[in-house]
Amino acid sequence: MRGIIKALIVGGLALQSTAVWGQFVPKNYSRKEMKEAKKWVDSTYSQLSMDERLGQLFIIALYTNKGEEHIDEVRKIVKNEKIGGLILMQDDARREIELLNEFQSEAKIRLLVGMDAEWGLFQRIKTAYKLPWAITLGAIQDKRLLYEMSAQIAADAKKVGVHWDFAPVVDVNTNPKNPIIGNRSFGSDVGNVSQSALHYSKGLQEQNILAAIKHFPGHGDTDVDSHLDLPLVSHSTKRLNEVELAPFKALINKGIGGVMVAHLYVPALEKKKGVPASVSYDIVTRLLKKKLGYKGLIITDALNMGAVAKRYKAGELDAMAFKAGNDIMLFSQGVAEGKRLIRKAIEAGEIPQKRLEESVKKILLTKYYLGLNKEYTPLSAENIDRELSSPAHKALAQKLYSAALTLIKNDEHLLPLRKNETYYYLPLEEAPHQTFADELAKENTIVIIKNEKEIASIPRNSKLIVGLHKDNSTAYKPYKISDKSKAMLLNLAENHQVILNVFGSPYALKDIDITPISTVLVSYENNDDSMVATAQSMQGKQPINGRIPVLVNDTITYGMGMSLD
């Protein structure tokens, strides 16, 4: 029968020409199990009303820090609009579990629950444990550690009822001024970004948590935050294929469950002026689905973001996104209106009926593979905060920070530190630093310089550790070093043997002349785990093997770094 697709594609058994099955398949799934999945999908789809089918296309946000009025509104939409899923936002894990137990127990088709958990559930739940940002992971040479981290994230996600981690970011960050990607990117090298993302994705999906590579077609070279307005990516098609699109092309046939489409204007890919990628038929359907052949779930970036919310009405935006080729509208602000407009377009022949069937069946198949076809078993919230922040999390975090630590220079062989030596320590910039000093003091004699006046008391040619401690409270804080700190650093290098440690982005070194500085390290982040790991590695307790994951300047280039055993 020529009308039947006989090939077994990665991610599912596609038997009807009207259906395109997703790429994600649980590990070791058999052909027989795929047939059972298809049988359930076909049966379930046939039992859904038109309104219920449309509802599967929408994911709305659930906050626990916006009060009961917001929660009641979410409850109303879940019940009345029969939506397909939720994205968990801030902040109370216990309350989120209670609400999911309620919603999932009552749903005809269980909800697909997602979360932004790029560096762990801490990104949304502050009682969870903070794991490293992607830029830190990009410095790690043993990519198996990234798998280990995302496998832990997957385990945590299951405890709070999350099935889909909207990660990893595969944007190639070639613009140091990028206000929204930056630390969230594995770096500026296509190969490193692709390999890092593959290991991260496998760590999730082999534990049956869906991954989503983002932000298609590439958000790495922008200087506008799409949460606020529409960024422009003005590169040629050649450049886009070589850089921005390259990680997506490398990964979409690797069984990645989802691709998230960004709110970007890319003139080389979209002919109509000012049309965001997320609502572009040329980008979503012609490029991602047809040319690149992606068969998994396609989801928009959040539809409340300024890049699109300023330009289109709620509901109208959802219908445009679906018409462009997206399967799921994330963070919808107008579910009822979106459903009405999509239905109207289908009835008018503007959207083929088979498009709705294709998307809904992909969603249902993914839900089956994630176990959402089974009767719901309520989750326990009793010890959730403790379970999301355990000694195992701490040990993993320190192992990752240790593996990322990058030694750029060691001209005077000042590292590893010697136990019988006295070291002076000067913390600069705006963030806490005491943990670093305390950890060093366990093995070395450390004299802390508390203010500028005490600098004069340091004997000439002393061994001086200078820590540039940047604010680590969010991934979006500025990386730049103050002019005062830079001037002080160069003056100190003239009189002392300086060991410079950057507890922040390597871009902090962009306009610092490191030539007169004896030793330079990058720790990537400023938190207790990073500081402990750094101090121990400086003392020779752990090897140093990290490499710079971005092009910083003409002197500090991608891949730079020295190993120290």
Is residue 289 pLDDT above 70, yes or no?
yes
Among residues 388, 413, 446, the one where a domain terminates is: 388
pLDDT of res. 21: 45
Separation of alpha carbons 125 and 120, rounded Å = 9
What local confidence, expressed as pLDDT, does residue 32 receive?
Answer: 93
Which residue, among 227, 544, 209, has the nearest Cα to 407 in the 3D structure? 544
For 170-187, what is each residue's pLDDT tens digit? Answer: 999 999 999 999 999 999
Please check whether residues 384 and 435 belong to one and the same domain. no
Residue 249 has pLDDT above 80, yes or no: yes
Residue 161 lies in a domain: yes
Q: Which is higher by pLDDT, 17 or 65?
A: 65
Instruction: State percent of the chain over pLDDT 70.
Output: 96
Q: What is the pLDDT of residues 498-522, one digit of tens each?
A: 999 999 999 999 999 999 999 999 9
Q: Is residue 285 part of a domain?
A: yes
- Are residues 80 and 155 part of one domain? yes
Q: What is the CATH number of the domain that holds 429?
A: 3.40.50.1700
pLDDT band at residue 151 under the 50/70/90 scheme:
very high
Are 319 and 434 members of one domain?
Answer: no
Tell me the two tokens of residue 481: 């070093």
**Domain of residue 324, CATH code:** 3.20.20.300
CA separation for the pair 355, 348 (Å, rounded): 14
142 and 174 housed in the same domain:
yes
CA 207/CA 210 separation, integer angstroms = 9
356 and 267 in a common domain: yes
- 419 with 300, same domain? no
pLDDT surpassing 50 at residue 487: yes
Query: Residue 443 in contact with residue 539, Cβ under 8 Å?
Result: yes
Q: Is pLDDT at 1 greater than 80 in this prediction?
A: no
Q: Could you tell me if residue 197 is inside a domain?
A: yes
**E strand spans, 140-243:** 164-165, 212-216
Percent of the chain with pLDDT over 90: 94
Alpha-carbon distance 259 to 217, whole Å?
A: 10
Q: Please tell me whether residues 411 and 512 are part of one structural domain.
A: yes
CB-based burial, 89-114: b 16+ in 10 Å, e otherwise: bebbbbebbebbbebbeebebbbbbb
pLDDT band for position 5 (cuts 50, 70, 90): very low
Beta strand segments in 348-435, E: 406-410, 422-428
My answer on whether 268 and 417 are in the same domain is: no
Question: What confidence score (pLDDT) does residue 420 get?
Answer: 85
Residues 267 and 343 in one domain: yes
Tokens of 53: 């089918």
Give me the number of domains the chain comprises. Answer: 2
Average pLDDT value over all residues in the chain? 94
Distance of alpha carbon 133 from alpha carbon 115, whole angstroms: 16
- 111-149 pLDDT tens trace: 999 999 999 999 999 999 999 999 999 999 999 999 999
Structural domain including 296 reads: 31-388
Quick check: is 429 in a domain?
Answer: yes
Q: pLDDT category, 22, cuts 50, 70, 90?
A: low
Tell me: do 417 and 378 sit in the same domain.
no
- Which of 334, 355, 388 is the last residue before a domain boundary? 388
Q: For residue 303, what are its two tokens?
A: 């539809």
Q: Which residues are CB-contacts of 557 (< 8 A; sequence separation ≥ 6)?
A: 548, 551
C-alpha distances in angstroms, 71 versus 62, 135, 302?
7, 35, 19
* Residue 7 belongs to a domain: no
- Is 345 found in the same domain as 306? yes
Q: Is residue 554 part of a domain?
A: no
pLDDT at 6 over 60: no
Q: Is residue 549 part of a domain?
A: no
Nearest residue to 92 via CA among 62, 112, 119, 113 = 62
Q: Is 298 in the same domain as 412?
A: no
The pLDDT tens digits of the residues spanning 251-280 come to 999 999 999 999 999 999 999 999 999 999
Q: Is residue 116 classed as helix, strand or coil in its secondary structure?
A: coil
Cross-strand bridge partners of residue 521: 407, 501
Asked if residue 553 is part of any domain, the answer here is no
